[in-house]
């Protein structure tokens, strides 16, 4: 039986060499700094443009709009987007289903080539995409660079992983038979990414879906739809056929729920809050009339991450790491250090060193490459300020705690540190998702480890110790999906640190790891008698 082929202008090719992470940009180099400033000026001239829905390769406008705003200057519109409603869910699903019939039957080499083409395009415009991230979500230059670099890494890594998966075979060949193991695509998936890594996570979940032969309805966060629109433009330039990725910004309560609950949706890849992730999981678990499969959910839902500082730790290294992990991108990372658990002999000097280090951080517009930029929106800032008030009752405020006013009305919160926080306090247990650090005093490594494991989450963690036995013990007993020994708990690198957490942090889906693409496929065993 002949298989259908998809009309595409993608020239099949194979990756050259093994996977290597994209290097970080050194912005201390004047040439690189000038390139970033040029890109910021270039992107500034494009702010406020209107973007369409893209369904089945066709562009549509809607009556409702979503305005993406610069959190450093909320009066500045980054992009105006169409607002998909529940009425667009059927249209998007129909387009994705139609494209699936042919995309799922294209060669893996063709699908891989799409990712490789997209990676090259993004690499050639690296600074431009950094600038979009700076304007749309408030990332300073280094944070934006890491996001863009990880996007390129995901595309290149999953391209190679797809080829490896396509070459899979059974563990043995049974006598008298020809045995094959084929990983086939699932179907149409909903990809629902977050705003905090709006390029890397969005592109990574989308790329993993389509390189396996699935098609996608992509619903980006309403706080960061512009970078997703730019990525869809890149995919189109790279050869994306219509309907393989359908770009549909919209409300989670209307369009998002409609896609999650649709009987033809086969899987949902989501990164975001615990509350929304659990709601998606529950909705996906309820079968709808006409649904013939159990929907798969691939969920990453946040954390309450700890760094355990032992009495024999390298103090300078530990302080630097905690401050970097707590306040990079204003603490708006699911991997951010929100709890420093410090053994008593180091506690007082650690608190003072952190206070000094935080005092040197500059808060301001990320376009000017300040250390700490804005938080994502006013609702987030208001929530953080409520936690600050709680922290004043639960511990000792040693740094920050204020929302500085700026001429542009940006949503800023000073890097905030509370000492003497109890292990069961609100600041110790609830995810704040902002630049607020709780420091907890313990009397021993054993007590510190128990505190590190005392939340409902289990995403990232770190331990600073010179004791080999403690490091080895923590590797077994510190219950997180990503544990770091004598380094900070943020900055997972594709391929080296497969990323995903335990407990209420999600389904431990391990993005950027060797088993991630299995989640977007199903295994089919074929045995032929000879």
Q: Is residue 222 part of a domain?
A: yes
Q: Is residue 23 part of a domain?
A: no
In this structure, are 263 and 309 located in the same domain?
no
Tell whether the model's pLDDT for residue 8 goes beyond 90.
no
Catalytic, 300? Answer yes
pLDDT digits (tens, 9 = 90+) for 391-410: 999 999 999 999 999 999 99
Confidence bin at 6 (pLDDT 50/70/90): very low
Report how far residue 415's alpha carbon sits from residue 330's, in angstroms, rounded to the nearest whole number: 7
What is the rounded average pLDDT for all residues in the chain? 97
What are the Cα distances from residue 139, in Å, to 71, 202, 309?
10, 16, 28
pLDDT digits (tens, 9 = 90+) for 465-483: 999 999 999 999 999 999 9
Q: Is residue 11 part of a domain?
A: no
Answer yes or no: are the C-beta atoms of 130 and 183 closer than 8 Å: no
How many domains are contained in the chain?
Answer: 2
Top-confidence residue, 14 or 118: 118
In this structure, are 71 and 216 located in the same domain?
yes
In this structure, are 112 and 232 located in the same domain?
yes
In this structure, are 297 and 317 located in the same domain?
no
Percent of the chain past pLDDT 90, that is, above it, reads 97
What is the span of the domain harbouring residue 360?
305-493
The mean pLDDT value for 44-57 works out to 98
In this structure, are 525 and 459 located in the same domain?
no
Report how far residue 468's alpha carbon sits from residue 489's, in angstroms, rounded to the nearest whole number: 19
Tell whether the model's pLDDT for residue 44 goes beyond 60.
yes
Report how far residue 380's alpha carbon sits from residue 427's, in angstroms, rounded to the nearest whole number: 16
Nearest-5° Cα angle at 308, 307 to 314: 100
In this structure, are 61 and 167 located in the same domain?
yes
Report how far residue 189's alpha carbon sits from residue 337's, in angstroms, rounded to the nearest whole number: 32
In this structure, are 335 and 216 located in the same domain?
no
Tell whether the model's pLDDT for residue 115 goes beyond 70.
yes
pTM over cut 0.85: yes
Report how far residue 103's alpha carbon sits from residue 96's, in angstroms, rounded to the nearest whole number: 10
Answer yes or no: are the C-beta atoms of 523 and 182 closer than 8 Å: yes
Task: Supply 88's token pair.
Answer: 């667009």
In this structure, are 276 and 345 located in the same domain?
no
Report how far residue 114's alpha carbon sits from residue 452's, in angstroms, rounded to the nearest whole number: 42
**201: CATH:** 3.40.605.10
Report how far residue 310's alpha carbon sits from residue 305's, in angstroms, rounded to the nearest whole number: 16
- pLDDT (0 to 100) of residue 227: 98
Q: Is residue 374 part of a domain?
A: yes
- pLDDT (0 to 100) of residue 9: 74
- Location of structure tokens 């704040």: 432
Catalytic one among 136, 300, 394, 414?
300
DSSP 69: E
Query: At 68, is the secondary structure helix, strand, or coil?
Result: strand
In this structure, are 284 and 313 located in the same domain?
no
- pLDDT (0 to 100) of residue 4: 35
Answer yes or no: are the C-beta atoms of 241 and 113 closer than 8 Å: no
Catalytic, 334? Answer yes
Task: Supply 135's token pair.
Answer: 């304007």
Element (H, E) at 442: strand 436-442
Q: Is residue 21 part of a domain?
A: no
The mean pLDDT value for 142-162 works out to 98
**401: CATH:** 3.40.309.10
Nearby residues of 308 by Cβ (< 8 Å), 6 or more positions away: 341, 445, 448, 449, 452, 461, 462, 463, 464, 465, 474, 478
Partners of residue 299 on adjacent β-strands: 270
Q: Is residue 348 part of a domain?
A: yes
In this structure, are 169 and 244 located in the same domain?
yes
Residue (of 249, 223, 230) closest to 43 by Cα position: 230
Confidence bin at 1 (pLDDT 50/70/90): very low
In this structure, are 89 and 127 located in the same domain?
yes
In this structure, are 86 and 122 located in the same domain?
yes
Catalytic one among 130, 212, 310, 334?
334
Q: Is residue 100 part of a domain?
A: yes
Q: Is residue 456 part of a domain?
A: yes
């Amino acid at each position: 039986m002949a298989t259908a082929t998809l009309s595409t202008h993608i020239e099949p090719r194979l990756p050259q060499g093994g996977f290597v992470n994209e290097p970080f940009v050194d912005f201390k180099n004047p040439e690189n700094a000038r390139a970033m400033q040029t890109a910021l000026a270039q992107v500034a001239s494009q702010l406020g443009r209107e973007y369409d829905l893209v369904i089945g390769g066709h562009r549509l406008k809607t009556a409702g709009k979503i305005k993406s705003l610069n959190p450093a200057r909320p009066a500045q519109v980054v992009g105006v987007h169409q607002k998909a409603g529940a009425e667009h869910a059927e249209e998007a699903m129909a387009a994705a289903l139609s494209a699936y019939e042919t995309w799922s039957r294209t060669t893996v080499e063709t699908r891989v080539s799409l990712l490789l083409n997209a990676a090259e395009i993004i690499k050639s415009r690296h600074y431009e995409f950094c600038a979009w991230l700076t304007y749309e979500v408030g990332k300073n230059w280094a944070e934006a660079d890491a996001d863009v670099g990880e996007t390129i890494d995901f595309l290149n890594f999953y391209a190679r992983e797809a080829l490896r998966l396509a070459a899979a075979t059974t563990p043995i060949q049974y006598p008298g038979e020809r045995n094959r193991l084929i990983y086939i695509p699932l179907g149409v998936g909903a990809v629902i990414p977050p705003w905090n890594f709006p390029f890397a996570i969005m592109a990574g979940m989308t790329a993993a879906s389509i390189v396996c032969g699935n098609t996608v309805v992509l619903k980006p966060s309403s706080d960061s739809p512009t970078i997703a629109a730019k990525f869809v433009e890149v995919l189109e330039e790279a050869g994306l056929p219509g309907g393989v990725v359908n770009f549909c910004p919209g409300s989670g309560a209307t369009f998002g729920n409609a896609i999650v609950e649709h009987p033809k949706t086969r899987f949902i890849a989501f990164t975001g809050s615990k509350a929304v992730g659990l709601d998606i999981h529950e909705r996906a678990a309820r079968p709808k009339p006409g649904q013939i499969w159990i929907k798969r959910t691939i969920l990453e839902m946040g954390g309450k991450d700890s760094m355990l500082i032992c009495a024999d730790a390298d103090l300078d290294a530990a302080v630097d790491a905690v401050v970097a992990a707590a306040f990079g991108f204003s603490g708006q990372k699911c991997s951010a250090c929100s709890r420093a658990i410090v053994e008593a002999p180091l506690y007082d000097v650690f608190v003072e060193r952190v206070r000094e280090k935080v005092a040197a951080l500059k808060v301001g517009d990320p376009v000017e490459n300040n250390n700490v930029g804005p938080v994502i929106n006013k609702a987030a800032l208001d929530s953080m300020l409520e936690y600050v008030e709680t922290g004043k009752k639960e511990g000792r405020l040693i740094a920050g705690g204020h929302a500085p006013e700026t001429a542009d009305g940006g949503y800023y919160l000073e890097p905030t540190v509370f000492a003497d926080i109890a292990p069961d306090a609100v600041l110790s247990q609830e995810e704040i998702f902002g630049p607020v650090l709780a420091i907890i005093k313990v009397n021993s490594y054993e007590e510190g480890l128990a505190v590190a494991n005392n939340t409902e989450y289990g995403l990232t963690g770190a331990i600073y110790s010179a004791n080999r036995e403690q490091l080895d013990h923590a590797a077994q007993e510190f219950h997180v999906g990503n544990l770091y020994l004598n380094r900070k708990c943020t900055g997972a690198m594709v391929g080296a640190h497969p990323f995903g957490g335990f407990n209420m942090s999600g389904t431990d889906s391990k993005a950027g790891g060797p088993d991630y693409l299995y989640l977007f496929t199903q295994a089919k065993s074929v045995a032929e008698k000879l």
